[in-house]
Amino acid sequence: MPRLRRAGSTAVIALLLTAVAACSSGSSGDGLASDSALPTEIPAGTKLVIADQGERQLSLLTGSGQLDALPFEYEFATFQGAPAILEAFRADAVDVAWAGEIMTVQSLVAGDDVQVVAAMQTNNSLNMGIAPNASDITTLADLKGKRIGYAEGTSQQAFVLRGLDKAGLSVDDVELVSMSLPDFPDALRSNQIDAAPMSEPVFSRYMQTPGATSLPRPEIEDLSEGISYLYSSKKALSDPATAAAVRAYVTAYITSVDWADNNRDAHIDTYFVKSQGLTAEAGERILDTSGITTFPHLDEELIATQQHTIDVIDAAGELPKPVDAADAFDLRFDEVVTEAVAETGASHTRS
């Protein structure tokens, strides 16, 4: 079965992905109802377009051997940040994606049909990078009056808001500078902003900048739940062939993530060193910080956790309208997650 791979800049993909939609499996008949059992049969020729960030999924699937075992055709599209992925979902140009938990909020506010089909949880791996000329910022309280990089619709948005709340600050006590995630490192280096939240491996690359500092881990380690999601959409899942392929992909991805946890040296070499250009020591530090990945049940407890994140954004006055976290989850996939976790020996909860 032919398998296609593609990587490109976000700007190019944003313009061209509508054409890719024609490559995805089309709907058949009246479609699959949202409360119907998930199908397991994947017809020949079924294809998923997979939205990736930093080649994370591609690297994990390749290293674990899951890529060549996928029972459908596939194509990878590379993005930088959840907002661009959400635009691709709106264009019906991708079928499945990995992104942070804030994409659920952005999707709900916009009235989109994006759905969570699996969840992953690590320790908080976000950090607050500090500009070289702002080394006097050593605590969250020191952010008062400072310029902070701010990307709405991303996990970093909630991270900033939680940090301000922890320090007893409001959004009026700082200057939130709106920009996209990829612009954070250069904005810090050029003194456009004083601080910015960053995920790995972007943070580790930024810390190679002369004079760069960051807030100590005790200041920020409780500012994120460490949750990310695999997403699909109601439209994609209404096609039985695509739904069956997404089901298989959830299993393959959980298996590949668990492989990385149990094969750290190989994962560090294939992803952090060869794909992301970091040292093996940096990869070790990143994995030590994030810890073992667990796979929460898609249930009321997870929905409540997501609703709390929504409430944090709302309390800061950053939510245009009330939304219900439950509307963003396809609970049919909990059975798929449960089976994959049992087969791999992984865990649903953090110790």
**Cβ–Cβ contacts within 10 Å for residue 201, how many?**
20
So what's the pLDDT on residue 38? 96
Q: In what order do the strands lie in the sheet with 213-214?
A: 175-178, 147-150, 195-198, 127-130, 213-214
d(CA 270, CA 349): 27
Annotated domain spans of the chain: 47-123+225-344, 126-219
- What is the CATH number that goes with domain 126-219? 3.40.190.10
Closest CA to 97 of 127, 105, 310, 83: 83
Q: Does 47-123+225-344 match 126-219 in CATH topology?
A: yes
Which CATH entry fits the domain spanning 47-123+225-344: 3.30.110.40, 3.30.1330.10, 2.60.40.420, 3.40.190.10? 3.40.190.10
So what's the pLDDT on residue 4? 34
d(CA 318, CA 152): 9
d(CA 92, CA 89): 5
So what's the pLDDT on residue 29? 44
∠ Cα 106 229 304 (to 5°): 70
The dihedral built from the CA positions of residue 300, 301, 306 and 311, taken in this order, carries a sign that is positive
Going by DSSP bridges, is the β-strand pair 96-100/47-53 parallel, antiparallel, or unpaired? parallel
d(CA 214, CA 281): 18
Confidence (pTM): 0.83
Q: Which residues of the chain have pLDDT under 50?
A: 1-29
Give the ranges where the chain is alpha helix by DSSP (H).
10-20, 56-64, 82-90, 102-110, 155-166, 184-189, 202-206, 217-220, 234-237, 240-262, 264-267, 280-290, 300-315, 334-344
Helical axes 56-64 vs 240-262, angle rounded to 10°: 70
